Each structure stands twice: as C-alpha cells, then as structure tokens.
A = this chain, B = another copy of it.
Amino acid sequence: MSLANHIEAYIKKLLMEASSEVIRLQRRELARRFGCVPSQINYVIRTRFTPDRGYIVESQRGGGGYIRIIKVGVPTKECFFENMVNEIGEAIDRTRAKGLISRLTNDKFISLRERLLVESALSALDEIIDELGDFPEYKYNIARAFLLKKLLCSISGGEGEDNDMSEL
C-alpha cells in the first residue's frame, strides 16, 4: 500500500472518530507523522478528498494555519443515485437531464433549492460553452453529463465512481 493510501486511511479514521463531521489538521504535523514532505498531504487531499466524493476542504495559511476537512452527511439513498449515474452515461441532452432532475425532487431525494442549484448550473454551463467557442452539440452533452454526475455523486455520499469525459 502506498503512503498516499495510508494517509488517506488515517484522515478517514480521524473523521470517523470525530463526533462531528469536521476535523482540523496541520499539514506540517501530518507530514512529520508520516515522515514525508508536506506537499504529499496536498496530493492526498487533491486526489482523495474531492467535492464529488462528498468532502469540503478549507485551509488557512500563516501562523496557526490549518486544513479543515468536512464530510458532508448524506441522508440519501446511495443506490438510487448510483442508478441514476448509470442512466446518465457518457452524454445526456437537455431534455433527459431535466427529466432526471425532476424525478429527484418528486422522490424527495433533493430539496427544491438543491434542484434550483442543479438546474442553474446546467443552464449556466450551456451559456459558458456558447461563449467559449463554436462546439458541436455532442460536446455539450458530454460536458452536461459530466457535470450532472459530479453534482449527484457529491451529495449521494458514494465514493464517487469514475467519471472522466473521455470523449470530450
């Protein structure tokens, strides 16, 4: 097992043990504990504690600096989301996307405000791609699928599947 895996496991253990969903680390301290350079900690966080795996990370520099990791609690049914991520696949058009999202609210898996966020993100994405250049429809569909999957994974609590936009 790689060092990165050990550090990941250690941080997760801390999260489990913490009564709250939040822990506070010191990069220096952690690096010393594992006998590695501090930037190794950044690597672990960058690759393992991402938003789409349900983590929020904050940090502060300077004296008394820290890294705070928050695991967002997820009172939702994982298998439902997993299913939906499968349905999305590599690409998805606007209509199908809207259909899926509306199913999520009907089944009370996400709140109305959360739905609003998801829909806004999708429509903003279309506008952004419009402005970025002249791309064929299928790229919109791949990007939309990617974003939607990231969003769903993030609040599903699942460990975030593969998701790599290979064809874009």
A1 to B143, CA, bound (A): 39
Q: State the majority secondary structure of interface residues on A.
A: helix
A98 to B70, CA, bound (A): 14
A64 to chain B, nearest CB (A): 3
For window 111-168 of A, CB contacts with B under 8 Å fall at 112-121, 123-125, 127-129, 131-133, 135, 139, 143, 146-147, 150-151, 153-155, 165, 168
Copies of this chain, complex-wide, total 2
Q: Which 6 A-B pairs have the closest CB atoms?
A: A2-B64, A120-B154, A51-B120, A124-B150, A131-B168, A51-B119
B102 to A58, Cβ gap below 8 A? yes
- Is A89 an interface residue when CB atoms closer than 8 A count as contact? no
A51 to B72, CA, bound (A): 31
- Is A56 an interface residue when CB atoms closer than 8 A count as contact? yes
